[in-house]
Chains A and B, each alone.
Chain A
């Protein structure tokens, strides 16, 4: 290992700071996504050459993106929240029923979504942080509770016909310069849905939270070693609690985005979304053991996961099990790569 003399002329020898684990994993994630997408563009062609394919991935996954960001926060503190998928389902159903059967408006439906998310976040956060229950078990209970509640609210699919909301669903925001020309020579502009904008705003806000606020840094400290964090003067319980509350809030927002995309409520909505969120976070470089992770990584995690699915589909392997097998394999490869790189780095220092 090279040792450079300090540029300031200090007589002490210092080596240049090596990458933090978080940044190293982030770079790997981005690299993998870029390589994968380029490969898809070059070898598969089909839709991949059109920018709209990329925007469709965003349109499809705005909800998952927000859920994954919340999941990342909790995972950085060393916890996990597996209730988010069912909370999404509950939010869709509650909002759908509110709009269709109770004559609510869009604004109140948003409040309901946020309220449900927050309520789950607060209760689960309290149980995990202050009563020190296992996050897995607490949120498993939350999962079942949300599942049951969804069916109580309504056991059938509820399609939303409420005019202002449907209009909001159908709103397409044109992305300038990204359109493409079809076979007949007509220019078709590229577009994203409203949900994508919301999701990206959430990504930016949470990125800033993790990077520049004390609360965000406390998440990392608590996940790194919660006893040390306590000794360093961090309120560990409050930090864990807030991570769960934020994750709950994200579940509320993500739920509403799902609702916005699906324009309906159903007990079958967002089945297994929590698993996709966990997978995205992990692909994005978040360690299940806590203390390492990045929101930008999670963004690329979501993109990678969806791109894999799209590639599998465009290869003509339509069956769901092909997608699942590919995702499973990819996840394993990712973990392997991550652990090999981290292990190599840690060996080097000795």
Chain B
């Protein structure tokens, strides 16, 4: 056992069907420290925490709490053993009062003493400066208040380990500072705090130590002073900072006329999904990309461009003419197509055939009361199945029985069929095999060569460098840089993502 360790996890493994969510992960939390758990989406942070709190049973490894080996069976068990948790999503009951949410499941005796919990809760809420009455029904409170109530509940437990899983995502600056003060107080009392967040600034503001996970494996544990931001980012993304062997994309980039009228131009575009207003333009034949860590706002930005989320302010010009894009149909009519990030949720209509899925967008634009004839639809579908070499038994096969890569191609076909002048592809290569990934990248470059404009988003920086001629870098909902030409290399990108001193 390490000196002063309040919690030790050794060789933790967790498998889900077909996925190794955690593989041999070690984690040590010392008394009175704030320990950041970092990693990109799917790195296994949340899984590790859910194993620790007994939500998921572990498939291997040992957990030691204050030197005693423990087996945590359920969230209740974890709570009794002194592990308090604030989860990323709010895990309180909206139909109960604030006070009850703070004390339910952790009071002694079979009865609820209303007077006492209301008094205690009121006192605690006052202490923490949470502006809500203890007897208010939780569902009537704002999300930020609800999150603060969850935090109040956790800190009130006499805990040895406090887990905060992205507690700051719905809090404003002031509330975050309040939370940090609270965290430092608890730290001084010897509580070990695990802090999960994707805001790098916050990590460097409040944490003592960082553990980085990637793809379910441990990358390493570092003292905060030893790990500058840019190193942290490179560890999270799994790219060596000094790796200079980048393949620069072809020479097409030089041919783009950056002085001409942009195909699409947005000025001060403001959405409601937490991104700061931003300017953006794209030229004919250009492939650009949005990059940044998960949660940096790259998807939200393109969704705002397409009108998929509500846009509240800003000017949009298509080929120099001012237009209004309020909803996806407006964008489609102006020749913008969007391939969403989550194809299961936003993209495919699982039970419809491949053919119906391909002609869907075109049908929407034509209007539902003027259906395509069967022969027409078959001809179109056939053409694109060949063009993109979609592997399907027939046009009539339901799309849900296709592989992920082929589903992606069908959606791509759908948008190509609409013959857009500007195509937005949000993570088109996620979860598909390498061969198809390369095919899709080639297709993107081919489309650009034909004079279409493409915005391409990918979590893999390699892919972005290979396909894009210009990269917009985002951090914490803000555009923080634009890279092109020689700046388009891993080092520069990571430095920009990390920001601050590097």
Contact surface of A with B, Cβ cutoff 8 Å? 10, 12-22, 211-218, 220-221, 223-225, 227-235, 291-292, 345-346, 349
Q: Is A218 in contact with B110, judged by CB distance below 8 angstroms?
A: no
Closest A residue, CB atoms, query B108? A214
Contact of B137 among A15, A18, A223 (CB under 8 A): A18
* A12 and B129 contacting across the interface, CB-CB below 8 Å: yes
Task: Please determine whether B95 and A292 come into contact, CB atoms closer than 8 angstroms.
Answer: yes
- Do B137 and A20 touch (CB < 8 A)? yes
CB within 8 A of B131: which of A14, A221, A229?
A14
Q: B467-480 vs A: 1/0 string, CB under 8 Å?
A: 00000000000000
Contacts A217-B96, A233-B80 known; 5 new A-B pairs at CB < 8 A: A12-B131, A214-B112, A233-B74, A233-B75, A233-B105
Q: A12-B129, A233-B106 are in contact. Are A291 and B87 (CB under 8 A)?
A: no
Pairwise interchain contact B96-A220, C-beta atoms closer than 8 A: yes
Given the known inter-chain contacts A18-B140, A212-B111, A220-B93, please indicate yes or no for A235 contacting B76, CB distance below 8 A. yes
> Taking CB as reference atom, which chain B residue is nearest A221?
B93
Residues of B within 8 A of A15 (CB): 133, 136
| CB of B159, distance to nearest CB on chain A (Å) | 12
CB of B75 within 8 A of CB of A21, answer no
Choice from A10, A13, A231, A345 contacting B126 with Cβ under 8 Å: A10
Determine the residue in chain A with the shortest Cβ distance to B86: A231
B129 and A20: CB pair below 8 A?
A: no
Residue pair B93, A224 in contact (C-beta under 8 Å): yes
Chain A residue at minimum C-beta to C-beta distance from B90? A228
The 8 closest A-B pairs by CB, nearest first: A224-B93, A233-B105, A291-B95, A224-B95, A231-B91, A233-B76, A17-B135, A17-B136
Interface size class of B (residues with CB under 8 A): 35 or more
In the bound complex, do residue A221 and residue B132 qualify as a contact, i.e. CB atoms below 8 Å apart? no
Contact residues in A for B96 (Cβ distance below 8 Å): 217, 220-221, 224
B110 and A214 contacting across the interface, CB-CB below 8 Å: yes
Does B31 have its Cβ within 8 Å of any Cβ on chain A? no
Tell me if A232 and B95 are in contact (CB < 8 A).
no
Chain B residue contacts of A10, Cβ below 8 A = 126
A231 touches B95 (CB 8 A): no
Tell me, in angstroms, the Cα distance from A349 to B136 when the chains sit together. 12
Could you say which residues of chain B place their CB within 8 Å of the CB of A227? 91
Contact A21 B132 (CB under 8 A): no
Task: List chain A residues, Cβ under 8 A from B135.
Answer: 17
**Pick the contact of B133 from A17, A215, A233 — CB < 8 Å?**
A17
The contact string, 1 if C-beta is below 8 Å from chain A, for chain B 75-112, is 11011100001010011111111001100111101111
A225 and B79 in contact (CB under 8 A), knowing A14-B131, A217-B100, A234-B104?
Answer: no
Contacts of B137 in A (CB 8 A): 17-21
Q: Using Cβ atoms and an 8 Å threshold, which residues of chain B touch A211?
A: 112
Task: Give the chain A neighbours of B101 by CB distance below 8 A.
Answer: 232
Chain A residues with Cβ below 8 Å from B67 are: none
Task: Provide the residues of chain A in CB contact with B80, threshold 8 Å.
Answer: 233
CA distance A86 to B194 in the complex (A): 54
| Residues in B whose Cβ lies below 8 Å from that of A214 | 104, 107, 109-112
Say whether A232 contacts B140, CB under 8 Å. no
